Amino acid sequence: MKNQPKIKAVIFDMDGVLADNIPFHFLAWQKTLKDEYGIHLTKKFFFKYLNARRGYELIRVVIGKVVSPKKGRSIIQKKDEHYRKIYTNKKPVDGLVGFLKYLKKKKIKIALATSAHKGNADFILDGFKIKKYFDVVVTAEKIKKSKPDPEIFLLAANKLKTKPANCLVVEDAPLGVRSGKKAGMRVAGMLTQHTKKDLAQADLYISNYNQKKLYTFIDAGASYRPGPYK
């Protein structure tokens, strides 16, 4: 594929991408919002409107108003504590470590760009013993806007000193896919929680990191579909 931007960096989302752990986040939010506000959070609402949002934004969408920073931090802390208690069978998505080693061998830069807070990022990176592979880690504390705003991916690319057109994002959520495309990047849709239809703007689809088409996509440079995306 001539005259196509080469992939020089891969930017991973975390939840649902490094770990198939989204159901545990849902259960933790469901319990926390029930305890705090008496609200019953449904799976349908969570996966359609909330997955990939920062905690503060998620709370605002659910309760219909902005909470104070102090209250927001308290709610998020309770949710994260419950999540870490129930997510005990920690293991990476199949083929992840091998894929990270492949990227390092190819001298392709690696970043994590997650709407989760640093504590949860460390929980996964340290738990999987993969922190050493990441050149850059961007968490919720570093951004002002939630996905689908492209801020988090553009910040990661900037820290990697790589142009957006040379980045591949790996995402599992519709909001995350939109965010990556709005950033001017190519996106691999991870089918851990959503269907191809849900992630319709992605450039390719994978269910794990053992699939040859992912390696072929990177080696070839792949097609580039710039925005605009809403």
Question: Is residue 15 among the annotated active site residues?
Answer: yes
Question: Is residue 80 among the annotated active site residues?
Answer: no
Q: Which one, of 224, 86, 83, 229, lies nearest residue 165 by Cα?
A: 224
* Positions marked catalytic: 13, 15
